[in-house]
Structure 1
Amino acid sequence: MQLTIERAALLKALGHVQSVVERRNTIPILSNVLLSTSRDALALSATDLDMEIIDETPGRVDQPGQITAPAHTLYEIVRKLPEGAEVELRYSGEDPRLTIAAGRSRFNLPVLPAGDFPVMSSDGLSSSLSIDTVDLMRLIDKTRFAISTEETRYYLNGLYLHTVVDGGVTKLRAVATDGHRLALAEMLAPEGAVGAPGVIVPRKTVQEARRLLEDAGETVELQVSAQKVRFAFGRAALTSKVIDGSFPDYVRVIPKDNTRILTVDNALFAQAVDRVATISAEKSRSVKMTVESGRIVLTVRNMEAGQAVEEIEVDYDGEPFEIGFNARYLLDVCGQIKGETAEFRFADPASPTLVLDPVDADVQYVLMPLRV
């Protein structure tokens, strides 16, 4: 194998694939990236057995071939080469090393046979839909913060992508929950979405897909089956297993009859919560909200750090009550509100609270209260 490629193009492609490679691997080949050359391009592939990312970049190929090399080391070498450099990759088969040459720099890296590299099959990906890149980014950004990190309830460790029919209109919906909060975002279902199976996309896959979307074109091709999901971003593609489990019936958790409605300036509220939470206990991060006509009082009491109180003007004229929330969860939700105000809908201090964005009717957030 021998080819010459621009440093910027190689770095971009390596950046796309190398992040899927775990830093510590018990299987040596999984630490490597597969390099495959065709007539005028270099294809790169990396996997952790649950997910695979492939990217392709143009180059001048003098001798086609395949080999695998350490992904992170190769990425760091290329990253530190001078901008504008022409990079030559050579592997002869006689020397068990890959040579990287650029200007006066020479590197030799150990290799492993390409035949040992695991390839993820894309068989069975029957349902295919084309989604606007901006719309897919929005679905992910509005919901991924609520994905659970607790491994015990593994079926919550991902983003539930599925279609629903609401008022006769078919929508593509993304939902995430960790049992303490829930985030929901939806959009009009693109062509091909009807009949596609609902899938739970793993947290790591969601993060990698979101990163690749930054360099994607106007649309992304999404293919799904009951076992796998594939995102195609032009020359790059991400294929991943989905979580094998049933996502809970989240619709039951979303309040329908919360009649105590409070509207608050979102930025001012987030800043006040952040300030009073400075002295909250690290474990619970609880903030008490005393809701009264025209105002709320935020209070944090910590036996060791002291007390913080802040008052904010709000639009509310119902009965007074007290309720508590995890400050970090409040701030996460406030960070997703794109309008100037946030709308809180309460039932009672022990029931879930619904948070809405007045300028985006296609998102909903649910927060479970804490005892205060």
Structure 2
Amino acid sequence: MKISVERSQLMTPLQVAHAVVERRQTLPILANVLIRADADGFRLSATDLEVELLIPGKLEKCLAEGATTLPARKLLDLCRATPEGTLLTIETNGERASVRAGRARFSLSTLPAAEFPGIDVKGDELPLVLSQRDLRRAIETTYFAMAQQDVRYYLNGMLLEIEGGKVRFVATDGHRMAVTDLAVEVPPDASRRIIVPRKTVVETLRILNDVDTPATLSIGRDHLILSAADVVFKSKVIDGTFPDYERVIPRNQDKTIDIDRLAFREALGRVAIFANEKYRSVRLKLEPNLLRLSANNAENEEGEEELEIEYSGGELEIGFNVSYLIDVLGALRSDAVCLQLADSGSSCLLTEPGGGPSRYVIMPMRL
């Protein structure tokens, strides 16, 4: 293989692919990226055996077609250290590859392209065509509630449920939950239910852009394929049973208040300065036409703030993790947020006033 490529044409896909490359690899080849080149350009691949990313790129010249694998980190660092606009010439010779950049020359080790692993996918896929903006927005409003390194491995991901002409995104860490619905054109009887790994969710956000250009999400029984702007992303799914999230959603809450979302978020941010660093608890006290926010810490420091609201029900005092509340308020885009409460021992339901595509459940903390 011998190719000439402009520095930015190689660096851009490398930056995307590098996040997929396994840092603590069990196989040396997983630290490499696969480059296949022909007259139409090049295609770069990276995998950690759980996810696989394929990105196309343009060449200045393809002097000799072929394929090889190169160290992802070294190649990316070399591109970053090369002046903008530099033309790179990459040529393989046996187990080595030479990279020329102007008057500079570098030698990299290679591994055979034939040994580069990929993710095998089987048929029976359900394709969903969505705008990149809508899909990105649905994930952004949900993914922050996923668990991280939980022993309940099925919580370290996001549930995708297709049923009734919509795709539902659900994430929970056992203390909070986010649910977002997105309408989609599928056959009425079509259904799927898979758990997408955390890494896949995060990488999907990196691939999707805030544009109306369509993306195709193909959902199989044991895999997921995202195709967007010529980029193809394959992923295995988590083999497990997601909790019955419908049972967690509170119903018949008798205390409902609408609050200005930004004012509420800013007030929580100020009060949170004085919250216990470990537990991050904040106290909400509901009174007629008034919401009191307060927090204190082990140094006997305290923060308190009041917000005027329209409320005529009974008094209620309840505690929450302030970070969970702020996450929800950051995910919503509406001017106001609706809080539905019952008592100090019941979860809180947060939505847009009048409903909306997203619902959030936060469990209370003991005061």
C-alpha distance in 2, partners of 1:105/1:217? 42
Question: 1:356 and 1:117, CA in 2 relative to 1: closer, same or farther beyond 3 A?
Answer: same
Q: What secondary structure is seen at the aligned counterpart in 1 of 2:142?
A: helix
Q: Which amino acid aligns with 1:71?
A: A
Q: CA shift at 1:257, angstroms?
A: 0.7
| CA deviation profile, 1:238-283 (whole Å, cap 9, x unmatched) | 1000010111110111112112001111111111111111121122
Q: Which amino acid aligns with 1:368?
A: M
Q: Which amino acid aligns with 1:133?
A: Q
Q: Which amino acid aligns with 1:354?
A: L
Is the CA contact (8 Å cut-off) linking 1:181 and 1:368 kept in structure 2? yes
Residue 351 of structure 1: which of 339, 346, 349 is its match?
346
Runs of 5+ unmatched residues, structure 2: none
The aligned counterpart of 1:340 is 335
Q: Which amino acid aligns with 1:16?
A: V
C-alpha distance in 1, partners of 2:153/2:315? 39
The aligned counterpart of 1:144 is 143
Q: Which amino acid aligns with 1:77?
A: L
C-alpha distance in 2, partners of 1:55/1:190? 27
Q: CA shift at 1:182, angstroms?
A: 0.7
C-alpha distance in 1, partners of 2:252/2:163? 21
The aligned counterpart of 2:322 is 327
Q: CA shift at 1:360, angstroms?
A: 6.3
Q: CA shift at 1:125, angstroms?
A: 4.9
Q: CA shift at 1:332, angstroms?
A: 0.2
| CA deviation profile, 1:316-365 (whole Å, cap 9, x unmatched) | 11101100000100100110121121110001111111101137611111
Residue 197 of structure 1: which of 192, 195, 212 is its match?
192
C-alpha distance in 2, partners of 1:252/1:359? 21
C-alpha distance in 1, partners of 2:195/2:315? 40
Q: CA shift at 1:38, angstroms?
A: 2.0
Q: Which amino acid aligns with 2:92?
A: Y
Is the CA contact (8 Å cut-off) linking 1:51 and 1:238 kept in structure 2? yes
Query: How do 1:73-88 and structure 2 match up within 5 A?
Result: 73-88=74-89
Question: 1:97 and 1:340, CA in 2 relative to 1: closer, same or farther beyond 3 A?
Answer: same
Matched, 1:259 2:260: no
Q: Which amino acid aligns with 1:236?
A: V
Q: CA shift at 1:190, angstroms?
A: 2.5
The aligned counterpart of 1:161 is 160
Runs of 5+ unmatched residues, structure 1: none
C-alpha distance in 1, partners of 2:355/2:105? 54
C-alpha distance in 2, partners of 1:125/1:47? 23
Question: 1:196 and 1:11, CA in 2 relative to 1: closer, same or farther beyond 3 A?
Answer: farther
Q: CA shift at 1:236, angstroms?
A: 1.1
Is the CA contact (8 Å cut-off) linking 1:130 and 1:191 kept in structure 2? no
C-alpha distance in 2, partners of 1:163/1:98? 47
TM-score by length of 2: 0.96
Q: Which amino acid aligns with 1:283?
A: K
C-alpha distance in 1, partners of 2:211/2:38? 23
Question: 1:154 and 1:72, CA in 2 relative to 1: closer, same or farther beyond 3 A?
Answer: same
RMSD of equivalent CA atoms: 1.7
Question: 1:216 and 1:36, CA in 2 relative to 1: closer, same or farther beyond 3 A?
Answer: farther
Is the CA contact (8 Å cut-off) linking 1:163 and 1:193 kept in structure 2? no
Number of residue-to-residue matches in the alignment: 366
Is the CA contact (8 Å cut-off) linking 1:354 and 1:366 kept in structure 2? yes
C-alpha distance in 2, partners of 1:75/1:261? 53
C-alpha distance in 2, partners of 1:158/1:125? 22
The aligned counterpart of 1:16 is 16
Q: CA shift at 1:204, angstroms?
A: 0.5
The aligned counterpart of 1:297 is 292
Q: CA shift at 1:197, angstroms?
A: 1.8
Is the CA contact (8 Å cut-off) linking 1:196 and 1:225 kept in structure 2? no
The aligned counterpart of 1:46 is 46
Matched, 1:367 2:353: no
C-alpha distance in 2, partners of 1:368/1:162? 23
Q: CA shift at 1:193, angstroms?
A: 8.2
C-alpha distance in 2, partners of 1:210/1:193? 28
Q: CA shift at 1:164, angstroms?
A: 3.2
The aligned counterpart of 1:243 is 238
Q: What secondary structure is seen at the aligned counterpart in 1 of 2:279?
A: coil
Q: What secondary structure is seen at the aligned counterpart in 2 of 1:90?
A: strand
Question: 1:85 and 1:193, CA in 2 relative to 1: closer, same or farther beyond 3 A?
Answer: farther
Is the CA contact (8 Å cut-off) linking 2:132 and 2:211 kept in structure 1? yes
Q: CA shift at 1:315, angstroms?
A: 1.9
Give me the identity figure in percent: 38
C-alpha distance in 2, partners of 1:164/1:320? 40
Q: CA shift at 1:191, angstroms?
A: 3.4
Is the CA contact (8 Å cut-off) linking 2:132 and 2:228 kept in structure 1? no
Q: CA shift at 1:217, angstroms?
A: 7.0
C-alpha distance in 1, partners of 2:210/2:267? 36
C-alpha distance in 2, partners of 1:189/1:217? 14
C-alpha distance in 1, partners of 2:228/2:351? 32
| CA deviation profile, 1:33-56 (whole Å, cap 9, x unmatched) | 111112221111111110000111
Q: CA shift at 1:290, angstroms?
A: 0.7
Q: CA shift at 1:12, angstroms?
A: 1.3
Q: CA shift at 1:305, angstroms?
A: 4.8
TM-score by length of 1: 0.94
Say which is worse superposed, 215-224 or 202-211, in terms of deviation. Answer: 215-224
Q: CA shift at 1:150, angstroms?
A: 3.5
Q: What secondary structure is seen at the aligned counterpart in 1 of 2:93?
A: coil
Which 4+ residue blocks in structure 1 deviate beyond 3 angstroms? 191-194
Q: What secondary structure is seen at the aligned counterpart in 2 of 1:206?
A: helix
Say which is worse superposed, 198-207 or 97-106, in terms of deviation. Answer: 97-106
